[in-house]
Amino acid sequence: MNWTFSIPAILIFILLLAFSVVSFIYFIRLFLGFRKLEKKETRLAVFSKIPSEEELDLFFSPLERVTEWFPTIASLAMLLGLLGTVIGINTAFGEMESQGKVSLEVLAGGIKDALNTTIVGLLVAIPSLFFHRVIENKIRYISELIIKDHSKSE
């Protein structure tokens, strides 16, 4: 298999790799932080008395701001994949025009770039959306645990 790609495809791959790494690091940091908050002792240390709605909002606000990056990364990854598709198809047609003939060899490079950038874009977008949903549910779960901790004791 030929693993050569055009310069635009390589640049898109680099950007998608960066988005993938950022998404994964955010997810791991948030997930490990929530694992600590699942322990009752930690929650009671942070909230010694029942928190008001405003206090809960202030506590979770920075976490929610970070969480909102996941759909942004997913959207950008899909758009970069689409950009790679358009560039690849444009390259294929440009090669076809410059050589004055239609053949599989002429179209193959551009089509390969188009498909590979689309695949990589989706491979970054899908986990980012999954990470977003998992972290959203963790925030909801932890806030419910905080309320339950204090409602049982009173």
Residue 154 has a pLDDT of 52
Residue 23 has a pLDDT of 97
What number is the average pLDDT over the span 36-45? 93
What number is the average pLDDT over the span 33-46? 93
% of the chain with per-residue pLDDT over 90: 77
Give residue for tokens 């970054």: 124
% of the chain with per-residue pLDDT over 70: 97
Separation of first and last alpha carbons in the chain: 67
Two structure tokens written together for 144: 């419910």
Q: Global pTM? A: 0.87
**Closest to 148 in 3D by CA, of 60, 67, 38, 58:** 38
What number is the average pLDDT over the span 5-31? 95
pLDDT level of residue 152 (50, 70, 90 thresholds): low
Ranges of each domain in the chain: 7-153
The 3-state secondary structure of the chain reads: CCCCCCHHHHHHHHHHHHHHHHHHHHHHHHHHHHHHHCCHHHHHHHCCCCCCHHHHHHHHHHHHHHHCHHHHHHHHHHHHHHHHHHHHHHHHHHHHHHHCCCCHHHHHHHHHHHHHHHHHHHHHHHHHHHHHHHHHHHHHHHHHHHHHHHHHHC
* Average pLDDT, rounded, for the chain: 92
Two structure tokens written together for 48: 């010694």
pLDDT level of residue 130 (50, 70, 90 thresholds): very high
CA distance 86 to 136: 34
Q: Is the pLDDT of residue 69 over 90?
A: yes
**Closest to 88 in 3D by CA, of 114, 112, 117:** 114
